[in-house]
Structure 1
């Protein structure tokens, strides 16, 4: 049950479903907050109570106004009476989106008023029992802490009870028993309404007097009074002769109502602030999402540009490698071409000297075919090497090493550079085999150039294949003097080269192929009298 001077509070949405309730509301309904939230009054209260609540709520929602009502609700110890304050709530656009209600228990005052009415009715029933009735009435009034007044309208004299005087800080004898003494105590702002209510009852336009107003106490403070009364004696013509009624001190109730209104205003303000904050947050969220989309578009565009540039660099690297490969082919063709020339010369001499027999001609033709076949094989290897791979496949690392060595071996011998390969076993890798071979050829070409640039005697290049930590690792080691420490972190940058005629894209292309296209790594370090490049790719399978 809502306790005196505390309030039950709840907020409903436009469908009149509870969205927020306080602990006092749980006590009132006898249900938990979890059981109340999301439900309507028909699911919680008896039909008549729910109907009355819905009527009040709709009046607030449709009228967009504050509503104050006295209500009666059944409790465990009998009916309880409440003063209920209801007002609309609003969304960010200022539209009504619900109703907030607060109630305060006034059962004690209502019970006292009922006792007063019973006492007054008993007093009116019989003038003969007036003295006894007044005594009982005074007892009730004393118990309810209300005051009594008796107004003689003919002589404009008012009999104020002792409690009436004490309520304002006076002794009974300090108050003059006239109507104008009462008027001097009423707050000037409230007097027009008070007089209108009294006049309406005297003229028969209302069944009784009931009005709330402020009265000045002896100390100068103001108290709120609930004044209730009616005419109790008329003459034969119906002219009012005497009226009686009660004064109830409702200052505490007014303070509670004012506090409720203040809290409701603060609550409304807080709700509006939260709605505005949520709207601002939503706006910022939309701005952030737009910014994220813009950044994503810019990142995608930048990535696409980088990929195009990488493709250009790879294409340039492929062309540069192709030029070097043509040089290698020239080295490989020089010996078979010389052999063919000598074979043709020998056939000419044999013809001239008459020694050209059928056997000699067949043997010479077979040798020529072998030489031409060797040259054709070189062209096929060159063609396969520069055919781009379209899909990732499983390939043999050892086979790609042997093919790369075969393509450069003649050129290396011509420059007195020894090339050798060491492998305990083969490694199967997942990737693009031709691009992998391009990387190996680029590393071998760089090793040869470094040796020719720094050494007068013969050079050495060693290729080592091994499986390490789930990866197939190829190391290309030379004795060409190593990489200066000052440029070690730049050699993989695009267009950076230490050669006078270098393009600076070979190592960048190699890094892009291994790390971006095949999820591997490529690195370099200096070793004794040279450097070592390491290329590592994940193993597809280890033989």
Structure 2
């Protein structure tokens, strides 16, 4: 589409110039000196040269207008890619003046040659009619012949009429201005809008009468009233301006415009005539062009080298050269542009210059890209090796256009290549005196070089080994082949720094030999694709045998160490259980003694509270009788009554006695719970109510479950909700004291879990019907649930569940190990769960733990209803974890 538009512009320019010069020819040269198409037209119309002067002059001025219009198209074409607003504006002003001059000339000619109506009315004699008739005859004949010549018929919109009044011409001119494609405005000295055409109304969204009631400041935010006088002075001095501004529509939409303004004087008054054109599309194109140019600049700037465009000349003049050349040579790129300071050929090493020129010449002749490696002399005199790839660009007419290419610094690559060659030579010399073999793999051709040491290591003759990678791979043990291929693949893809693998290879004798194969890619191309790989092999058969013997020895010693560790662990468990048993025994005796000592005085206190309460009630009744019969006591009595606040005492004393009774009763219950918990008199196994043990344990832990009851100011630890879901359980045979200790340990751990942090109470509460997933229920506060039931196997199941933070898999696997704890130093011994597990195992039961991070924890106890004395103290640890 862009090519069609460009070609159309060329065709329009050609037609304008040919037609314009053809028309203007007779304005400057009479037909007698230079016959032309126009003279033939005049002759064919049978018109004398004198009578055709108006036509000649009119067509001459039309020629000027046509040439001016063609020039405008030419300017637009020249500025197709790079619009220069200032130059375009000045050119449009000049062309507009030519148009005005041409139109003025046309009006003057038509006005001077037409027959004026007053003159016709004043002429009445036959002589006058004779004088006038030839003119009418001539014009009628001219019109008739002209229309016949150009086949003008009734469908043609215009016909030549040389008697058309000047008013009609002006009407046509006004009509043309009103219907012009660009917005036209006439503005007065105070900024008032005096005239607008239809295009201005359409672009601004106003009706004509609305625009005529506004000022230029209302529609052009770039021309405020404060700066209008300065603008007027500048335009008066310059005569015309071409600017870019913004227009504001009726609906406050701002859009860019290009305005050509002319300053005019008419009848002693100054005006500004503005031609405005919406340039939103052009601005968008310019913005996209700037973005694209920015992308190109960014792209070129990020290329690790220099990009150039030059001319195919002797000195190789550069038209464009990116800033990357300064990194390579130290010279700024601007010094090479147009050879301002130096030519690019001047910094090419003299020994390489002829080669560079020859290569470019061959590329030009073959029309193929060229690739070069040569040296450049930097600004500091040092030498840099560069890699250049370029191509000669030809036009459609097959002429040379540009020399485009890119240059990259490969000095380090060249140095590395030379260093590699030297290293290879040294390596060959070093390997010649060792027992290691060398191989060199050309990854492009697949050929592999094997050194004599490599061949002799496997018992092959050097000339019997096929130098191909596939042949080598066939010698690798089938069980090792996939691993070898995978290790090589990882290294070739650049995922490992080097390749190292131990594998077996088939020797000539048929024996599988263990070898150590080491290698590394030493050459890669520009795309980092491997080209060459080198490595060594070493016979490690003796070392593998020694390692195998060492592994067997280590396995034996490791088994002994594991057995010793297991023995120590069992010993530790036994010791811990013994310590805990002694501790419980001592604690039970202490608790029993304390309970007995406290029980006697508290019984005395509790028994006397009822009597004291009765006595006080009698005294209160006596005081009430005194007040009833002696309402006006003695003044001293009255004063003493107020001093001791008798009314308050009468109200508060019964409450004090009631509180004392509740406290004494509470102490009795605690003493009873301590005695039940210690169960010194129940050391043997006996049927008990499991729920009684749970209730006694909860009573002892009441201070932790309701911390605010003891200390109302304790806002840090909120109360813990206990949900009891007790099933209908028969009495269970057990050691009550030991089972209570298990309950104490599990409930203490649950309390610690839910009190770790208030923000951790928002995950669901675990829920288990069976050891399977799906054990969470909603709970948003610190909560512990105790649930008991009888399962299908007729075993008692006790579930203690919390909505704490849960445990990780690592913690769960070590949960029942002695001395393992997650609590801070000094806050836990790590023996509670280990001892609990041993107690449950002693009861032929099972202790499970279900936990997940962020979803709480559940401990499940399974106990048989009756103990069949089948002792199996070596129960395996069973810790199950569920997944949500």
TM-score normalized with structure 1 length: 0.36
TM-score normalized with structure 2 length: 0.23
Give the structure with the larger strand fraction.
1
Higher relative contact order (CA 8 A, sep 6+): 1
